[in-house]
Amino acid sequence: MPDSTLRRATLVTHLPATDRDPRLFVALQPPAEPAQELHARARPVLEGLPGLRLYPPRDLHLTLLFLGPYPAGDLQRLQANLKEQFHGLSEARLSIEGTGAFPDRRRPRVLWAGIREQRGSPLVLLHRRAALAAGVASPRHFHPHLTLARLRPGRPLPAAFDGLELRLPWDAREVVLFESRPERPGERYRPLLRLPLAPLKSRP
């Protein structure tokens, strides 16, 4: 069903991307407290497993839209479009719950924590607004999650991780445009633009 709240996006004509252009994505970033708590619960069952790379709390995020290499000459226009698309949208009240793996539990490559929506802006709306701002088609499948670790092919899913119980509340109060810099482990994701979301109104 089409979303009648979506605004008409400014058409973006991309310049050719090069290897020197920034790798970008739009995301929600959990505050330090739930991110650290999530990491603290996952770490005992994951750390030290052969072929597994566990992400630190500062790198946890919920990707709304991955853009990849993006022409630097279009960056200013992208930022303006993001400001337009997210203006006036409310924050999202979320809960970090459950775990899973991509592509599936039998062939785990990416281990993730799930997201349950409670109040505020639907995540699929935030996802579509990000796509409109970038002038790209919205991907067919959108599965909100927080990537916790990556596992080498052929390794089994740890049983303790599959049964990990989580219920960590999180109010997503801003959308962030990040630059991915994998060559800098201490600052892997650099925020380029922060877009505050409107506070939720208290229930009567």
Give every CB contact of residue 81 below 8 A, 6+ residues apart in sequence: 9, 10, 12, 132, 133, 134, 135
Q: Is residue 93 included in any domain, yes or no?
A: yes
Q: Can you give the pLDDT at residue 18? A: 66
Structural domains counted in the chain: 1
Q: Is 180 helix (H, G, I), strand (E, B) or coil?
A: strand
Q: Is residue 3 included in any domain, yes or no?
A: no
Q: Can you give the pLDDT at residue 14? A: 54
> Per-residue pLDDT for 185 more than 80?
no
Q: Is residue 81 included in any domain, yes or no?
A: yes
Q: What is the pTM of this model?
A: 0.88
Q: Is 39 helix (H, G, I), strand (E, B) or coil?
A: helix
- Location of structure tokens 């380029």: 192
Q: Is residue 24 included in any domain, yes or no?
A: no
DSSP conformation letters of 66-125: EEEE--GGGHHHHHHHHHHHHTTPBPEEEEEEEEEEEEETTEEEEEEEEEEEEEES-HHH
Per-residue pLDDT tens for 52-100?
999 999 999 999 999 999 999 999 999 999 999 999 999 999 999 999 9
Q: Can you give the pLDDT at residue 17? A: 62
Q: Is residue 10 included in any domain, yes or no?
A: no
Per-residue pLDDT tens for 94-147?
999 999 999 999 999 999 999 999 999 999 999 999 999 999 988 888 999 999
Q: Can you give the pLDDT at residue 89? A: 97
Q: Is residue 22 included in any domain, yes or no?
A: no
Specify the CATH number for the domain of residue 145: 3.90.1140.10
Q: Can you give the pLDDT at residue 16? A: 60
Q: What is the pLDDT confidence band of residue 159, given thresholds at 50, 70 and 90? A: confident
Structure tokens at 49: 């497993």
Q: Is residue 201 included in any domain, yes or no?
A: no
Element (H, E) at 158: none
Structural domain containing residue 98: 33-196
Q: Can you give the pLDDT at residue 138? A: 85
Per-residue pLDDT tens for 12-53?
445 566 668 999 999 999 999 999 999 999 999 998 889 999
